[in-house]
Chains A and B, each alone.
Chain A
Amino acid sequence: MQGKCGLFFTTYRGEAQIFQSGFQKLMIGLLLAVLLAAPLALNIHMTSIRNLIFISVIGAVGLNLLTGVCGQISLGHGAFIGVGAYAAGQCSLHGVPFPLAILTGGLITAMVGMVFGVPSLRLKGIYLAIATLAAQLVLEYVFLHGGVLTGGSNGLLLEPPKVLGFVFDSEARMYYLLLFFAAASLLMVSNIMRSRYGRAFVSIRDFYLSAEIVGVNLFWYKLVAFGVSSFLAGVAGGLWGHYTGYISAEQFNIGLSISYLAMIIIGGRGSVIGSVFGAVFIVLLPEVLNVLANSLGAFFPDIAQYIVALREGVFGLVLILFLIFEPEGLAHRWRLVKAYWKLYPFAH
């Protein structure tokens, strides 16, 4: 834990608090107030971008718990999100109420994730990465050829979610629903990270042999990491399916897995706030490129046909540059900025 100037603790409980100072609580409160008021001032497009960010935050913070905190690489998160989307979608098609459908989707995904997590006891590093890559490709095949269960290449059509008779059928209404889920999952992961489980995950990431020697049951904790992480992926998938109203197999390809991994690398591995930064960054990147392309369209009329290729290239380039020049991600930058202002204007 990084202590702040003039902030000291007399109990371990105090040290483990998520929000340590009154100022931090005030800022979080202000941020929440701004987020709650935002849809009133924004147009539909802006709100929809924020909705996508919320969904990505849920998936990214889940993956960060597995890959950033516990050190187990997963290249299959795109497919796990797909499992959640299909499971929650099937539930609500069969008349299960929305909150229960999302929960069931998450639990089913957690089980699938744990099945693919079982090899993690024997496989480490790149072997695990390749095993999860296989999981991704096999699940993709299942989505496409799953018959009635997944709707095959036709996909599934879903109704907007309904909670206690209230229908979330507009962008602004979805905004509040997704904001709730994103905040809840951030809180959940922050709490896991300061618990016994979180410390066990970190010890496994840092050196699994030492972890085992001090009594961390590797198999159990890795399995839990896979389970919780896939649960969040499943929730993100269920919400995504209900938000767009349509689920198709192409959404959950290897590219989705890679963009989630990019989120946690760009945001910062093992950091909750980093997952948020990464999700914001990766969702905004194509939007910014679109705006740029539109404004450049006057000078280069052909640019629209290159935009898809450009988007992928810029994505790759950003990823490479972050890994080389800022391997700890935006969360590190954020810490530096905070440290700068903490001592301002007396920085040494």
Chain B
Amino acid sequence: MEYYLQLFINGLVVGGIYSLVALGFVVIYKATKVVNFAQGELVMAGAYICFALTVQFNIPFLWAFLLTLAFSVLLGLAIERMVLRPLIGEEHISVIMVTVGMSSVLKSLVQLFWGTQIRVYPQVLPTEPVVIAGLPVAPVYLAAFALSAVLFAIFSVFFKYSRTGIAMRATAFDQQAAQSMGIGIKNIFAMSWCIACVVSAVGGVILGNINGINSQLGHLGLKVFPAVILGGLDSLLGAALGGLIIGVLENVCDGAARQLFGLGGFREVAAFIILVVILMIKPYGLFGTKEIERV
């Protein structure tokens, strides 16, 4: 039982990071209807920038973190302006493939600058484990979880009460109506990419603090899909919950497969098997908007 409790808690922590990345994905999808296959690479880019600033330029961690966020804003702007804007109104497959191409480019840039080996962040948090419910948990995990929760709270408030947040929701609901109410759609698109990049970079920095980073970090981006499909593609709450649930489920399934059947590496597919099942029974997820077609 303790084995599964440990798996559950580890799953929650990993799930917290999935939630963050899924949050970025959903912000983009909600506002621009772009399915971003480069979400994992955005995480990786943030993680490597922060790594370079702290380790290679010896900037204190907090400043490096803030600079990383500033860089992410620029990255988001650049991506939206140069890659996505020419493709507004194109078919699904074009938009999907352009983000796939972008992920290749980002991955290769990271490899060109930093190579493929694992890089380790300097320790910023104490390593002494904290005991929760009789189980030792590393403080960095707690910090990760807390940070995800805080970010989620900030975004909920932002989308609910701030002027820009409401404009973004309006754009997501009906682009033409939003435009005729005087909302600059292009600014909203740029803004949502910035937010997604910033959130992903935060996820990347947390991941870097947990177990170091390497150029395969981008694979994390694929895990976003089970999370957002479970939560509903255009729901922030869904992304947060979906990420947590997928994190826990895949960890527990992996542990169970290892213990009961002796199967290794089941973690990689568990989430996708769950994904297929969700698509079969409830394609719009827990909180997603149902698309209704009238003829």
Contact = CB atoms under 8 A, between A and B. Distances in A.
Given A262-B97, A310-B112, A316 B104 contact: yes
B217 interface: no
A316 B94 CA distance: 13
Interface in B66-105: 83, 86-87, 90, 92-94, 96-98, 100-105
Contacts of A323: 87, 90, 94, 97-98, 101
Given A127-B283, A312-B108, A320 B275 contact: no
Given A141-B269, A145-B265, A262-B97, A310 B92 contact: no
B280 A119 contact: yes
B275 A306 contact: no
Given A308-B111, A313-B105, A138 B93 contact: no
A317 B268 contact: no
Nearest to A212: B295
A141 B268 contact: yes
B242 to A, nearest CB: 13
A313 B112 contact: yes
A320 B102 contact: yes
Nearest to A209: B295
B107 interface: yes
A314 B225 CA distance: 26
A265 interface: yes
A88 B295 CA distance: 45
A130 B108 contact: no
Contact of B265 (A133, A144, A258, A318): A144
Contact of A73 (B87, B93, B107, B233): B93
Interface string A125-143: 1110111011101101100
Interface residues of B, number: 42
Interface string B249-277: 00000000000000111101100110110
B253 to A, nearest CB: 12
B154 interface: no
Interface residues of A, number: 45
B80 to A, nearest CB: 13
A291 interface: no
Nearest to B284: A127
Given A317-B101, A323-B101, A310 B275 contact: no
B109 interface: yes
Given A141-B265, A262-B97, A323-B97, A315 B222 contact: no
A309 interface: yes
Given A131-B279, A138-B272, A327-B94, A310 B108 contact: yes
Contacts of A265: 93-94, 97
A320 B105 contact: yes
Given A319-B101, A323-B98, A309 B108 contact: yes
Contacts of B87: 323-324
A130 B97 contact: no
Contacts of A193: none
Contacts of A230: none
Contacts of B279: 119, 122-123, 127, 130-131, 134
Nearest to A213: B295
A124 B272 CA distance: 18
Nearest to A133: B225
A126 B92 contact: yes
A196 to B, nearest CB: 24
B174 interface: no
Contacts of B225: 130, 133-134
A185 interface: no
Interface of B: 35, 83, 86-87, 90, 92-94, 96-98, 100-105, 107-109, 111-112, 222, 225-226, 229, 233, 263-266, 268-269, 272-273, 275-276, 279-280, 283, 293, 295
Given A313-B104, A315-B104, 12 more contacts: A134-B279, A141-B269, A145-B264, A145-B265, A213-B295, A258-B104, A313-B108, A313-B109, A314-B108, A316-B101, A323-B98, A324-B86
23 contacts: A73-B93, A133-B222, A134-B226, A137-B269, A138-B269, A141-B265, A144-B265, A145-B263, A209-B295, A261-B97, A265-B97, A309-B111, A311-B108, A313-B108, A315-B104, A316-B103, A316-B104, A316-B105, A317-B105, A319-B97, A319-B100, A319-B104, A323-B101
Interface of A: 67, 73, 119, 122-123, 125-127, 129-131, 133-135, 137-138, 140-141, 144-145, 209, 213, 254, 258, 261-262, 265, 269, 306, 308-320, 323-324, 327
